[in-house]
Amino acid sequence: MNSPVKIWRNQGKIASLLGKKGVIISWTMVRVPPAGFSDQAPYPVVLVQLEGKRIMAQLVDPPVGGQVGKKGLIGMKVITVIRRVVQPSTEGVIPYGIKVKPLW
Amino acid sequence: MKIYIIGASTTKFGELWGISPRTLAREAVGGALTDAGIKPAAVEALFVGNMLSGMLGGQEHLGAFFADELGLGVPAFKIEGACASGGLAIHAAVAGILSGQYKTVAVLGVEKMTDHKPEDVATALMGAGSEEERLAGATFPGLYAMLARAHMAKFGTSEEQLAAVAAKNHFHATLNPNAQFHNALTVEQVMRSSKIADPLKLLDCSPISDGASAVILTAKSKGQRVKSKDVEIVASAVATDTLGLAQRESLTELKATKEAAKKAYKQAGIEPKDVDMAEVHDCFTIAEVLAMEDLGFYEKGKAAKAIASGDTTLGKSKKLVVNPSGGLKGCGHPVGATGVKQVVELVEQLRGTAGKRQVSGVNVGLAHNVGGSGATAVVHILKRA
């Protein structure tokens, strides 16, 4: 995941997905994370319908308590942003990727 | 030519700390050969269903590994399709026989998961997903949780109805000596268990398990003697969908299951209503709900309520009993072994040797095995010979 070559190769893909607006169509709250994500847990992972494309990403700056209605996060408007995705290893490149944040 | 299962065997599933994969394989394949009443020399090829031996155990080249260990010395293949590896291995074995290359083959499904730390297992299992999903920090419970949310939003499926799937399958597991769990579960216990990936809780999830299962397949042409305990494979079908969840056409069904089932029913010349018992892929409780609908047993949105009312529970069901082995939830889910174990369960049910969990009057059984979040689906239909 942290190969510098792979990160370099994926730069274009990340750039092409930045700043896109969309709507959450399903979501979960990951409480038992995989390796490399323990410092972030628990965190919401959402499925987002962008224009003409669907993506799965972490939701950052999620709403709290009263801001979440009966339907949870479904229907919430979001925008794609660049964030560090995984805990980097001591010698590896810091891996950046796409996450989404609420559009208020 | 028809293809029969002439031998079937499974080890106990569970946290088998003291038992190595080699020993598991010897027990399963040895048991299947004894059951078939044939010598190892009669086996012409070995198909091994396994997912994680490379990522977790550092051992690839599993065909040769197990052919050597079992003293078979025949052409041997590892078949990998995530949690559908076992079902895919049986499909590959059937294809090998239909090609004319082999007449009698052994299929081994095997997985050793409890040697490793849970987060390492969770990471390795995410090898079955897409890179986008891994970068999002998703886990398999997380992926199925998103399917559950979509199903709940569209059809009003409740968390209690999902919990009822786990309760049913644990009840069945109490009747299966080879099952990982022998404790009954109530809906309340499932509801109270800790959240893993909302809305899924610990007891909505199948466990991490060790285990191995094996079947011996052989081709018989017209006029050859068929024993009363032989079971015929009347359908073996596979379908593939997008690897990642985000790219699917629908979040409230697994298209691969629908397509594999459609092909399988056509091959067997039957309809869903002709199936007497089924082993379906309940890696998470929502997965059994999706399976019941996508296999054509219930209309979309109707399965959860039916399962919760006991429609598919042994002793209560008037038609179709589902997961009498305990399913992945109750019997355990050593991922590469599961698809083969489902077929072993069908064989025992069709022979009438399933003991306390025997479903009465079984003539047709169906096994449904899923890889990943639905990228691979395998359906086998078996009939009494």
pLDDT in tens, A40-67: 999 999 999 999 899 999 999 988 765 5
C-alpha to C-alpha distance for A89 and B372, rounded to whole angstroms? 27
Q: Quick check: A28 and B147 CB within 8 A? A: no
Q: Within 10 Å of residue A66's Cβ, how many Cβ atoms? A: 6
Q: Quick check: A25 and B150 CB within 8 A? A: yes
Q: Which domains does chain B possess?
A: 2-117+208-220 (3.40.47.10), 124-207+232-384 (3.40.47.10)
* Distance spanning both ends of chain A, measured CA to CA: 32
Closest residue in A to B201 (Cα) is A31
pLDDT tens digit sequence for B17-43: 999 999 999 999 999 999 999 999 999
In contact, B292 and B306? CB cutoff 8 Å: yes
Closest residue in B to A28 (Cα) is B198
Q: How confident is the model at residue B251 (pLDDT cuts 50, 70, 90)?
A: very high
In contact, B146 and A45? CB cutoff 8 Å: yes
How do the domains of chain A map onto residue ranges? 4-102
Q: Find which of B126, B149, B208 to mutate to test the A interface (most A CBs within 10 Å of its CB).
A: B149
Q: Give me the residues of A, 71-90, that contact B with CB < 8 A.
A: 71-72, 74, 85-86
Angle of helix B285-294 versus helix B140-155 axis, rounded to 10: 60
Q: What is the pLDDT of residue A71?
A: 67
DSSP string of B177-204?
Answer: TT-S------HHHHHHSPEEETTEEGGG
A-B Cβ pairs (cutoff 8 Å, strict): 101
Average pLDDT on B224-251 reads: 97
**DSSP H or E run through B288:** helix B285-294
Residues of B in contact with A45 (CB under 8 A): 136-138, 142, 146
How, if at all, do strands A21-30 and A43-50 pair? antiparallel
C-alpha to C-alpha distance for B322 and B165, rounded to whole angstroms? 10
Average pLDDT on B5-15 reads: 98
Token pair of B159 as six digits: 């968390």
DSSP string of A49-101?
Answer: EETTEEEEEEBPS---GGGSBTTBTTT-EEEEEEEE-SPPPSSSPPPEEEEEE
CATH 2.40.50.840 is held by the domain A4-102: yes
Q: Quick check: B251 and A26 CB within 8 A? A: yes
Nearest to A48 by CA among A13, A78, A81: A78
Q: What is the pLDDT of residue B119?
A: 85
Q: Which residues of B are catalytic?
A: 83, 333
Q: How confident is the model at residue B237 (pLDDT cuts 50, 70, 90)?
A: very high
Residue A70, chain B, CB below 8 Å: the answer is no
Distance from the Cα of residue B221 to its chain's centroid: 29
C-alpha to C-alpha distance for B381 and B385, rounded to whole angstroms? 13
Residue A31, chain B, CB below 8 Å: the answer is yes
Cα-Cα-Cα-Cα dihedral sign, residues B280, B285, B287, B289: positive
Classified as helix, coil or strand, B327 is: helix
Token pair of B107 as six digits: 């299929």
Q: Find which of B157, B198, B286 to mutate to test the A interface (most A CBs within 10 Å of its CB).
A: B198
- Distance in Å, alpha carbon of A93 to nearest chain B alpha carbon: 15
**DSSP H or E run through B24:** helix B21-36
Q: How confident is the model at residue A8 (pLDDT cuts 50, 70, 90)?
A: confident
Q: Quick check: A72 and B149 CB within 8 A? A: yes
Cα-Cα-Cα-Cα dihedral sign, residues B278, B290, B177, B24: positive
Residues of A in contact with B123 (CB under 8 A): 34-36
**DSSP H or E run through B120:** helix B118-125
Q: Quick check: B126 and A34 CB within 8 A? A: yes
